[in-house]
């Protein structure tokens, strides 16, 4: 049986630095667990533009379609701000999501006990937080037509179109319900059915899928603006939240900061099953390329490492190994290891990106 295949796209800024720590975990898996991956590396974002003049080469896109999973670091940086919109680094990521048809974006927000004091909310509000936001990723206002900037009369008009089909809503709803069955068995669907026709359709289709296919899962509906307020009032009322592309973008970033640092949060973008029954998948940390600290060893690699843990769970059926990685991260934090983004007001000396990776490897050895 062939080894599982993984395409690594480290990208820009701190992407290569945090990805280097993931490679340590991959090597550890081979040495200590006997699990070997066929790893290919390529370029995406600004690094791809620098070499090819496009943020994602066609050959790289073809590789992404063939492997079991793609692991991405980060894209972008100020040196690319003046590029035409069509070749900005972020377009490479959007192309991957669109052409791989990665319609279901899983954004966990988990607050480790050791970091509860880093949240802007009270410790009792966030301690033990473990929620999952399922964001529809390939349709909605970011992709709808017509779109663009046009001239009407004597002024310019910017247009973006919020558009959803029944099938697009239904498939991401199923993704959320399936996930809920493996967690606390409840889903909250968020939209703006009070003012948007697309929201009305969203609510109707989610309810229909629930009633026909998942009546065992508790389902509630909430307007997205109220959902944002509830996330900062009492986030532990939620388990799985399913929502559209725009609201999911906003709500998942809101939930991210409940945990104390964007440097802690992974994500998975899943598509339809391949021939092997596993979904097409791309895994990436939530944080950006952080060009202000790139190359300085200050980046937190935990989000990228936890993204690889999600790949172990969802693409490679290695749930026990995923849990080992997650426990190792939790242990390292409990032992007081901190990168610069996790340093509290009391100061102290942060450890480097590579030192954090080494500490997690040591914790994995101890767990094993």
Q: Mind listing the pLDDT tens digit for each residue in 194-224?
A: 999 999 999 999 999 999 999 999 999 999 9
Q: Which two tokens stand for residue 180?
A: 């809920």
In this prediction, what percent of the chain has a pLDDT beyond 90?
83
- Which of 192, 214, 321, 341 is catalytic? The answer is 192
Average pLDDT of every residue of the chain: 94
**pLDDT for res 256:** 82
Whether the CB-CB separation of 204 and 173 falls below 8 Å is answered with no
**3-state DSSP assignment of residue 50:** helix
- Do domains 1-110+262-368 and 130-258 share one topology? The answer is yes
* Residue showing tokens 């692991």: 71
Q: Where are the domains of the chain?
A: 1-110+262-368, 130-258
Report phi then psi at 327, rounded to 5. Answer: -65, -35
Whether the pLDDT of residue 306 is over 70: the answer is: yes
Q: Which of 50, 101, 130, 225 is catalytic?
A: 225
* Rounded distance between C-alpha atoms, residue 251 and residue 230, angstroms: 11
Superfamily (CATH H level) for 130-258: Isopropylmalate Dehydrogenase (3.40.718.10)
Contact between 53 and 87 (Cβ < 8 Å):
yes
The three-state secondary structure class of 293 is coil
222 phi, psi to nearest 5 deg: -150, 140
Order the strands of the 130-136 sheet from edge to edge.
38-42, 5-11, 69-74, 279-285, 266-273, 104-110, 130-136, 240-243, 186-191, 218-223
Task: Please tell me which residue in 101, 130, 239, 253 is annotated as part of the active site.
Answer: 253
The helix/strand/coil state of 68 is: coil
pLDDT the model gives residue 53: 97
Which of 80, 142, 164, 214 does the annotation list as catalytic? 142
Whether 80 is catalytic is: no
Query: Is the CB of residue 71 less than 8 Å from the CB of residue 8?
Result: yes
Of 249, 280, 298, 321, catalytic: 249
In this structure, whether the domain defined by 1-110+262-368 belongs to CATH 3.30.540.10 is answered with: no
* Stretch (H or E) spanning 25: helix 15-28
Task: Based on the residue annotation, tell me whether 192 is a catalytic residue of this protein.
Answer: yes
pLDDT digits (tens, 9 = 90+) for 93-146: 989 998 999 999 999 999 888 888 888 888 889 988 999 999 999 999 999 999
12 noted as active-site residue: no
Instruction: Tell me which DSSP letter residue 2 carries.
Output: P
Question: How much is the pLDDT for 196?
Answer: 98
Residue 167 pLDDT level (bands cut at 50, 70, 90): very high
DSSP character string of 301-365: -HHHHHHHHHHHHHTS--HHHHHHHHHHHHHHHHTT---GGG--TT---PPPHHHHHHHHHHHHH
């Amino acid at each position: 049986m062939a080894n599982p295949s993984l395409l690594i796209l480290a990208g820009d800024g701190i992407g290569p630095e945090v990805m280097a720590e993931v490679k340590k975990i991959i090597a550890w898996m081979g040495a200590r667990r006997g699990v070997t991956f066929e790893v290919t590396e390529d370029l995406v974002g600004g690094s791809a533009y620098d070499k090819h003049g496009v943020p994602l080469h066609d050959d790289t896109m073809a590789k992404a379609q063939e492997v079991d999973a793609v692991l991405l670091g980060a894209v972008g940086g100020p040196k690319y701000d003046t590029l035409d919109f069509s070749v900005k680094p972020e377009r490479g990521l959007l192309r991957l999501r669109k052409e791989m048809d990665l319609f279901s974006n899983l954004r966990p927000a988990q607050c480790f006990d050791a970091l509860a004091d880093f949240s802007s909310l009270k410790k009792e509000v966030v301690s033990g937080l473990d929620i999952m936001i399922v964001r529809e990723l390939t349709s909605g206002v970011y992709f709808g037509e017509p779109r663009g900037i046009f001239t009407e009369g004597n002024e310019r008009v910017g247009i973006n179109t919020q558009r959803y089909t029944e099938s697009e809503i239904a498939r991401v709803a199923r993704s959320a319900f399936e996930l809920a069955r493996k967690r606390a068995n409840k889903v909250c669907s968020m939209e703006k059915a009070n003012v948007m026709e697309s929201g009305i359709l969203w609510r109707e289709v989610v309810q229909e899928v629930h009633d026909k296919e998942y009546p065992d899962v508790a389902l509630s509906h909430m307007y997205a603006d109220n959902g944002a307020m509830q996330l900062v009032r009492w986030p532990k009322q939620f388990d799985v939240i399913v929502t559209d592309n725009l609201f999911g973008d906003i709500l998942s970033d809101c939930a991210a900061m409940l945990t104390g640092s964007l440097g802690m949060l992974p994500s998975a973008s899943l598509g339809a099953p391949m021939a092997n029954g596993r979904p097409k998948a791309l895994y990436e940390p939530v944080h950006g390329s952080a060009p202000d600290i790139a190359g300085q060893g200050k980046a937190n690699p935990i989000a990228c490492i936890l993204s690889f843990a999600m790949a172990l769970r969802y693409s490679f059926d290695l749930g026990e190994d995923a849990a080992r990685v997650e426990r190792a991260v939790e242990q390292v934090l409990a032992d007081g290891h901190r990168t610069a983004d996790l340093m509290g007001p009391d100061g102290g000396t942060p450890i480097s990106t590579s030192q954090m990776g080494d500490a997690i490897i040591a914790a994995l050895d101890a767990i094993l």
